[in-house]
Amino acid sequence: MPGSVLRVEVEQGAAVSKGQVVLVLEAMKMEHQIAAPAAGVVSAVMVEKGYQVEAGAVLAIIEEGEV
């Protein structure tokens, strides 16, 4: 959904577990936590705090694998 990035909780190279919050968006006057779909390593973060994002935008890339 379109919204504004409130917080980025990870950085490139960080290990994440499945379900871990990666970033928080504000959309429709609500905060929405975006969680990692799988365990792995963050290979790229495409946004920063304050960015306006469109529906379907790639926000971060997680290379799936053992952590």
CA distances from 46 to 5, 15, 29, 41, 66 (A): 11, 17, 23, 14, 23
State if pTM tops 0.85: yes
Domains and CATH numbers, the chain: 3-64 (2.40.50.100)
Band of pLDDT at residue 62, cut at 50, 70 and 90: very high
pLDDT score of 33: 97
pLDDT score of 67: 67
pLDDT score of 18: 97
pLDDT in tens, 1-36: 799 999 999 999 999 999 999 999 999 999 999 999
Say if residues 64 and 14 touch (Cβ distance below 8 Å).
no
